[in-house]
Amino acid sequence: MAVNDLVLRIGGESGDGYVSTGDILGRISAQSGYEVYTFRTFPAEILGGHVMFQVRIGTKKVTSRGDKLDILVATNQDGYEKHYRDLREDGLIVYDSNSTEIPAEGGWESLGVPVVDIARKLKYPRGKNAVLLGALVHLIGLNVEEAEKMIMRRWGRKSAEIGQKNIEVMRAGLDYAAENWPEVTSYRLLAPKAGGEERLIMDGNQAISIGALAGGANFYGGYPITPASSIMEFLAAELPKFGGVMIQAEDEIAAINMVIGASFAGAHAMTATSGPGVALMSEALGLASITEIPVVLVDVQRVGPSTGMPTKTDQSDLNLAIYGTAGEAPKVVLAVGNVEECFYVMGAAFSAAEHFQVPVLVLSDQDLSNRIQTVPVFDINRVKRLSRVLPDLDSGKEYERYALTESGISPMSIPGMEGGYYTAESLEHKTKGAPSYEPDNRNQQMKKRCRKMETISNEMVNWELFKYHGDRNPEIAVLGWGTSEGAVVEAIDRCRAKGISVGAFYTNLLHPLPAEKISEFVEGAKVIFVPELNYRGQYANWLRSQLGLEAVRYNRYDGLPFIAGEIEAEIEKLAAQIAAF
């Protein structure tokens, strides 16, 4: 019997091309009309070590990586040993019979493919991953023509001959599966719904990059770091098409200072890095804050501290983003939870930076950075495009860059504007920019900068940067941020089907918090539940410090994202405790 939801995982050796196999499989599925959500984990080494790629394919929207595996694809013995425990009881193992042995006592149905033999027979030994791709295309019933198109797009970029050879090898794998597994149909996907809305397929870093372009970005200064580098690579190719510039700096410190300089000159400037890079940039972020220069910084979080586990996911940079500058430096902190949000939140980030003249940090993570997901076609009309306030230099008044205003926002001139000269000083300064150590002036300028946070809070609460899911007045109120959202949404749907009163409030705006909205949501709740991918419960601590909320915490910090089943189990425990009270 065909299925409408399938979770498939490929495990094997890094460098053998099986991440590409999974990536192509996901894209073939999307092009065939299915909803797709992928997850991958790989070693930090350039070559060698174990790699895993997981794809969930459905006829309806999928929001998480899934719980148990329906199909495990073991490309070597490690691929079996490391992952068989995640396979459901009636799951299927597809394996390379040239390199893998599946114990009979496991009890799972298993299908062997002599991957190496088939590839060698066709005199293309490097194409063993294409053999496996063909077998999987047959097994789950994907569109073969879309498979061939995707192979040419990926493996035929350098040479049409290489693309055609991979198609030949893929076809051989497909024919082998069709000949040897003709009766295996229980893992076939139901046909996707015809006439559905047009969908895009991309990863989080691509969506962040496109969102930056839509938000008006025209300068990028950066330095490579896992897992943010593909943002720089994307914009290196695309920014010039929009009249922009990308510069690779010698390090993170140079990159952020380039961004500040470009923004001072009038550019919509950004960079992207990970936690170690943000640490290096912290002094410059303070400079941007005191000089009131717009800056957008994307932090694609990974496991720390220090080098930590650079290819694993985490949500442990929240404290760094909020507090990580010397002194009290007003800034905005945003977060993204899925690929679609990456696009729209970047528009909000540039609008906030330009309009309020503050640094804006956008928190993503490793899981989202290279997660392929199907999303609705982006609506450019939904992208917020606020500009910086320019001064009226024809008024006859002497220009005061840091004039004391009620909103905290002072008009900012661009170099070259007649009468708009000022000093952008990292020292505390007077209204015209000259340094000052006078206590009264310090009090006035500090209050002026911090008034921006009140202005930001009052204005950004109307920017649609939060969402609800499930009950609006729940007994169990889930508060969260970032990429835990997908698993939480799925868990809530399951729990509500069991009669549990539960709902979630997820915000993209972390600093300043939409305090009133959160307080309204949790007002009648019996329990507040906060799941996070960090050890200390940084968001739970932030909620307590800002709103006085005490929450039940559920923390994971092993480098892997949540699955819906574990969140579901925790919610059920809380519901049982409420019922027993």
CATH number at residue 339: 3.40.50.970
The predicted-structure confidence for 450-509, as pLDDT tens digits, reads as follows 999 999 999 999 999 999 999 999 999 999 999 999 999 999 999 999 999 999 999 999
Give 400-431 pLDDT, tens digit per residue: 999 999 999 999 999 999 999 999 999 999 99
Is the Cβ–Cβ distance between 316 and 484 less than 8 Å? no
Q: How far apart are the first and last CA of the chain?
A: 44
Which amino acid, residue 233?
E
DSSP H or E stretch at residue 231 = helix 229-238
In the prediction, which pLDDT does 192 show?
87
> Residue 552 is encoded by which pair of tokens?
């039940």
| Residue 417 belongs to a domain | no
For the chain, the domain total comes to: 3
Let me know whether 67 and 169 are in one domain.
yes
ω into 276 cis (within 30 of 0):
no
354 three-state secondary structure: helix
Q: What is 511-544 written as a DSSP string? A: ES--HHHHHHHHTT-SEEEEEESSSS-HHHHHHH
In this prediction, residue 47 carries a pLDDT of 66
Cα separations (Å) of 532 from 6, 315, 421, 496, 555? 26, 7, 47, 21, 5
Does 562 fall in a domain?
A: yes
In the beta sheet, which residues pair with residue 72?
9, 93
* 568-569-570-574 Cα dihedral, nearest 10 degrees: 100
Residue 104's pLDDT is 75
Residue 150: partners with Cβ closer than 8 Å, 6 or more residues away:
24, 27, 28, 31
Percent residues over pLDDT 70 in the chain: 99
Residue 453 located in a structural domain: no
Tens-place pLDDT, residues 6-61: 999 999 888 778 888 999 999 999 999 999 999 998 777 666 788 899 999 999 99
Q: Residue 261 is encoded by which pair of tokens?
A: 């300089």
Which SS3 state, helix, strand or coil, does residue 122 take?
coil
* Dihedral Cα 396, 399, 405, 407, nearest 10 deg: 110
Q: List, in order, residues 6 or more apart from 345 with CB less than 8 Å away.
A: 211, 334, 335, 336, 362, 465, 508
On the question of pLDDT at 193 being above 90, the answer is no
- 3-state helix, strand, coil split of the chain in percent (to 5) is 40, 20, 40
Residue 113 belongs to some domain of the structure = yes
Q: What is the domain-level CATH number for residue 43?
A: 3.40.920.10
> How many C-alpha atoms does 216 have within 13 Å on its Cβ side?
23
**349 and 474 co-located in one domain:** no
Does 144 score more than 90 pLDDT? yes
For residues 146-160, give the mean pLDDT: 90
Same domain as 373, residue 251: yes
Residue 487 lies in a domain: yes
Last residue of a domain, one of 335, 355, 382: 382
Give mean pLDDT, residues 69-85: 94
| Mean pLDDT calculated for residue range 271-296 | 98
Compute the C-alpha angle 358/203/76, nearest 5°: 135
Strands 219-222 and 245-248: parallel
Structure-block tokens of residue 554: 């559920």
If phi over 0 gives left and psi between -120 and 50 gives alpha, with beta otherwise, what is residue 33?
Answer: left
- Residue 437 domain-assigned? no
In this structure, the answer to whether residues 504 and 559 fall within a common structural domain is: yes
Tell which phi-psi region holds residue 522, choosing left (phi > 0), alpha (psi between -120 and 50) or beta: alpha
| Of the candidates 458, 465, 468, 481, the residue with the CA atom closest to the CA atom of residue 540 | 481
Q: Is the confidence at residue 195, as pLDDT, over 80?
A: no
- Together in a domain, 205 and 322: yes
- Tell me the average pLDDT of the chain: 95
Quick one: pLDDT at residue 15? 79
Q: Are residues 371 and 312 in the same domain?
A: yes
Least confident of 131-145, 173-187, 308-322, 566-580: 173-187
565: closest CA among 488, 476, 470?
Answer: 488
Grade residue 1 by pLDDT with cuts at 50, 70 and 90. low
Q: CA-CA distances (angstroms) from residue 494 to 269, 424, 541? A: 43, 55, 28
Residue 542 has pLDDT above 80, yes or no: yes
Same domain, 132 and 230: no
- Pick the more confident residue, 578 or 104: 578
Q: Are residues 353 and 473 in the same domain?
A: no
- Residue 169, domain member (yes or no): yes
Q: Compute the distance between CA of residue 552 and CA of residue 559 in angstroms, rounded to an integer.
A: 21
Closest of 383, 345, 344 to residue 362, by C-alpha? 345
Summarize the confidence of residues 235-251 as an average pLDDT: 97
User: What is residue 516's predicted lDDT score, i.e. its pLDDT?
Assistant: 96
What is the rounded CA–CA span in Å between residue 57 and residue 374? 10
State which of 338, 362, 382 marks the end of a domain: 382
Picking from 319, 348, 382, the residue at the C-terminal end of a domain is: 382
Give which of 40, 13, 14, 37 is closest to 560, Cα–Cα.
40
Alpha-helical runs (H) found in 90-143? 115-121, 128-140
Residue recorded with tokens 């040479």 = 159
Q: Are residues 151 and 290 in the same domain?
A: no
Count of helices and strands (H, E) across the chain: 18, 20
Q: What is the reported pLDDT for 46?
A: 65
CATH code assigned at 566: 3.40.50.920
Whole-number Å distance between alpha carbons of 452 and 208: 26
CA dihedral 304, 306, 308, 312 (to 10 degrees): 50
Please tell me whether residues 218 and 337 are part of one structural domain: yes
pLDDT, residue 365, reads 98
| Total Cβ atoms within 10 A of residue 243 | 7
514 and 368 in a common domain: no
Q: At 347, phi and psi to the nearest 5? A: -60, -45
Which pTM was predicted?
0.96
Tell me whether residue 422 is in a domain: no
Q: How far apart are CA 14 and CA 339, in angstroms?
A: 25
Confidence band, pLDDT 50/70/90 cuts, at residue 348: very high
- 474 neighbors 501 (Cβ within 8 angstroms): yes
Q: In terms of domains, do 173 and 221 share one?
A: no
CA nearest to 63, candidates 337, 312, 301, 315: 337
Domain of 97, in residue numbers: 5-180
Q: Cα separation of 245 and 216, whole Å? A: 12
- Report how far residue 5's alpha carbon sits from residue 35's, in angstroms, rounded to the nearest whole number: 9
Task: Give CA–CA dist 435/427, Å, rounded.
Answer: 6
Give the pLDDT mean for 70-81: 94
Q: What is the rounded distance in angstroms from the CA atom of residue 273 to the CA atom of residue 459?
A: 28
